[in-house]
Amino acid sequence: MIEIKPLGSSSAGNAYYVTDGHTPLLLECGLRFKDIQRAFNYRMSEIAGCLLTHNHSDHCKAAKDVMRAGIDLYASAGTLAAARLTGHRAITVRAKDQFRIGSWTILPFEVEHDVDEPLGYLLANEAGEKLLFATDTFYIRYQFKGLTHLLIECNYSEAIVDENIIAGEIPISMKRRLVRSHFSLENMKEFIRANDMSKVKEIWLIHLSDTNSNAELFKREVQALTGCPVYVADR
Q: What are 161-170's pLDDT values in tens digits?
A: 999 999 999 9
**The residue type at 4:** I
Q: Give the mean model confidence (pLDDT) for residues 11-15.
A: 93
Q: What is the pLDDT of residues 185-216, one digit of tens each?
A: 999 999 999 999 999 999 999 999 999 999 99
Distance (Å, whole) CA 132 – CA 117 = 18
Q: What is the pLDDT of residues 78-126, one digit of tens each?
A: 999 999 999 999 999 999 999 999 999 999 999 999 889 999 999 999 9
pLDDT of residue 176: 86
Average predicted confidence (pLDDT) for the chain: 96
pLDDT (0 to 100) of residue 66: 98
Compute the distance between CA of residue 180 and CA of residue 190 in angstroms, rounded to an integer: 16
Residue 178 scores a pLDDT above 90? no
Domains of the chain (ranges; CATH) run 3-232 (3.60.15.10)
pLDDT at 231: 98
